[in-house]
């Protein structure tokens, strides 16, 4: 009888487990590191639907004494019970492990293996919309003696416009990003651009020069204040920040830049 009830409740338990993990990911903000904002509401809807379905399953479907559930344990007890329990663990363990052990951010190794020169802006900069253009123009019009808050993607886009390079070169800026040391060459300040999810994220970065000393860790969030320059190498203009100061900072509410 106990084995029958366990087998009956197992599908509802698995659906509830999926829903709980999805709700936990949403409530803790970990979803910000996994999905673009436009898709996050669907995770909440899916979690609620799973909870409703699991409740309906328990309330509306009750196995009869004569008919065992389709996935009832096979074999002699207790081996049959253990075999059935193992089947559901195969579904539950990877789900729980993925939600707990998933990394908080993509690594610098991932940035290298994605195969893009992250200072080049090979892909279109998604943050360069009408709002970003206005913000960049405001930065151009701002007091040149005060650091202008600006994104790495905006520096890359500025580097692709000769007229704006001429206007913005030498301006004080404040940029937040992930510290990425290089095996050869200058370290970089990196942000990830996400279109859909972490799987399609692409790196965008600015080179750091000058006073970069400090016990900075790979993939550490830093706020860099310095002077923006746009040097050219082999015909490629790229953004560079001549550092005045570096301070550790908290991860932004939106760690990925999105369209």
Report pLDDT digits (tens) over 239-256. 999 999 999 999 988 888
Nearest to 151 by CA among 163, 159, 143, 162: 159
pLDDT at 72 (0 to 100): 46
Q: How far apart are the first and last CA of the chain?
A: 55
Name the burial class of residue 85, with classes exposed (0-12), middle (13-18) and buried (19+) by CB atoms within 10 angstroms of its CB. middle
130 has pLDDT over 70: no
98 has pLDDT over 50: yes
112 has pLDDT over 50: yes
User: In 42-152, at which residue ranges do the beta strands (DSSP E only) sit?
Assistant: 148-149
pLDDT at 146 (0 to 100): 81
* pLDDT tens, residue by residue, 203-240: 889 999 998 888 999 999 999 999 999 998 887 889 99
Pick the CATH number of 108-257 from 2.40.50.140, 3.30.70.20, 3.40.710.10, 1.25.40.10: 2.40.50.140
* pLDDT tens, residue by residue, 168-182: 899 999 999 999 988
- Per-residue tokens: 54: 């699991």
258 has pLDDT over 80: no
**How far apart are alpha carbons 36 and 151 in whole angstroms?**
18
Over residues 14-35, the mean pLDDT reads 87
User: pTM for the complete prediction?
Assistant: 0.69
Chain region(s) in the chain for CATH 2.40.50.140 = 108-257
- Highest-confidence segment of 15-19, 81-85, 218-222: 218-222
- Per-residue tokens: 134: 């206005």
Under the banding of pLDDT at 50, 70 and 90, the label for residue 66 is low
Phi, psi of 119, deg, nearest 5? -90, -5
**How far apart are alpha carbons 28 and 121 in whole angstroms?**
32
**How far apart are alpha carbons 83 and 69 in whole angstroms?**
15
Over residues 114-126, the mean pLDDT reads 55
- What count of residues does the chain have? 259
Sequence-distant (6+) residues with CB within 8 A of 54 are 11, 12, 13, 15, 16, 19
37 has pLDDT over 90: no
**How far apart are alpha carbons 248 and 219 in whole angstroms?**
11
């Amino acid at each position: 009888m106990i084995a029958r009830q366990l087998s009956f409740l197992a599908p509802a338990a698995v659906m509830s487990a999926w829903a709980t993990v999805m709700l936990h990911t949403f409530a803790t903000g970990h979803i910000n590191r996994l999905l673009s904002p436009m898709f996050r509401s669907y995770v909440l809807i899916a979690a609620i639907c799973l909870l409703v379905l699991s409740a309906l399953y328990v309330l509306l479907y009750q196995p009869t004494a004569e008919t065992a559930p389709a996935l009832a344990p096979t074999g002699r007890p207790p081996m049959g019970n253990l075999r059935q329990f193992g089947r559901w663990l195969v579904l539950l363990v990877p789900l729980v492990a993925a939600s707990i052990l998933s990394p908080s951010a993509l690594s610098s190794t991932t940035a290298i293996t994605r195969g893009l020169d992250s200072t080049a802006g090979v892909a279109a900069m998604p943050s360069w919309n009408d709002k970003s253009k206005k913000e960049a123009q405001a930065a151009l019009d701002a007091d040149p003696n005060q650091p202008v808050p600006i994104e790495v993607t905006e520096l890359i886009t500025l580097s692709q416009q000769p007229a704006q390079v001429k206007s913005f070169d030498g301006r004080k800026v404040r940029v937040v990003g992930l510290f990425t040391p290089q095996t050869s060459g200058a370290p970089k300040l990196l942000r990830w651009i996400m279109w859909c999810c972490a799987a399609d994220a692409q790196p965008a970065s600015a080179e750091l020069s000058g006073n970069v000393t400090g016990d900075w860790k790979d993939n550490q969030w830093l706020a860099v204040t310095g002077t923006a320059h746009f040097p050219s190498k082999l015909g490629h203009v790229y953004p560079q920040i001549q550092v005045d100061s570096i301070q550790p900072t908290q991860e932004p509410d939106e760690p990925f830049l999105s369209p």
